[in-house]
């Protein structure tokens, strides 16, 4: 247990040290673009999953699922929640990857972010993208599988 606590403290202190290097106001633009991109990706994935659901249960309507009044069974609530929110980590990771790639293709931003990464191990574009891709390979397929299974088993919207 002590090792886990020590690792957590070291990770947190290293993260705080890495955060001090971010001096450019363009980091705010990067974060704002990320905050716009991931909900869009999440919504598009959710619509895709809903299309899968509607092919199985054609009588279900998108608007009714979100705006129904009255009671809903616990089973439908849990399945609806899993269908909608299990894809969020994968969508967030994909958004991070896309925004980083977008900023990497703009030479001006690339130079700014490369200069901020100098002297800090594990913060280069290549290392960061490798880590994000590894996270994506875990979160996206797992979230998509859970979401599709929930969409399959969501037989009633009540």
pLDDT in tens, 40-89: 999 999 999 999 999 998 887 776 656 666 667 888 889 989 999 999 99
Residue 45: which of 101, 92, 98, 103 has the closest Cα?
A: 92
- CA–centroid distance for 3 within its chain: 29
Is position 140 within any domain? Answer: yes
Query: Which helix (DSSP H) or strand (DSSP E) does residue 32 occupy?
Result: helix 26-56
Is 6 contained in some domain? no
What confidence tier does 18 reach under pLDDT thresholds 50, 70, 90?
Answer: low
Structural domain range at position 75: 25-153
Token pair belonging to 144: 């998509």
Say if residues 80 and 150 touch (Cβ distance below 8 Å).
yes
Total domains, the chain:
1
CA dist., res. 10 & res. 4, Å (int): 10
* Residue 32, domain member (yes or no): yes
Residue 101 has pLDDT above 80, yes or no: yes
**pTM (2 decimals)?**
0.79
- How far is Cα 149 from Cα 41, in angstroms, rounded to an integer? 20
So what's the pLDDT on residue 1? 78
Is pLDDT at 105 greater than 80 in this prediction? yes
Q: Flag whether 102 is in a domain.
A: yes
In a domain, 1, yes or no: no
The answer to whether position 15 is within a domain reads: no
């Amino acid at each position: 247990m002590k090792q886990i606590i020590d690792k957590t403290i070291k990770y947190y202190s290293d993260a705080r040290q890495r955060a001090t290097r971010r001096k450019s106001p363009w980091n705010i633009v990067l974060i704002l673009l990320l905050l716009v991109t991931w909900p869009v990706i999440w919504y598009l994935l959710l619509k895709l999953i809903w299309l899968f659901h509607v092919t199985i249960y054609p009588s279900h309507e998108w608007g009714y699922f979100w705006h129904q009044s009255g009671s809903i069974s616990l089973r439908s609530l849990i399945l609806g929640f899993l269908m909608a929110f299990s894809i969020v980590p994968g969508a967030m990771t994909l958004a991070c990857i896309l925004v980083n790639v977008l900023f990497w293709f703009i030479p001006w931003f690339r130079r700014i972010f490369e200069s901020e990464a100098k002297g800090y191990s594990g913060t280069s574009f290549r290392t960061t993208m490798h880590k994000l891709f590894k996270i994506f390979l875990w979160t996206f397929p797992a979230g998509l599988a859970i979401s599709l299974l929930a969409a399959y088993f969501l037989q009633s919207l009540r």
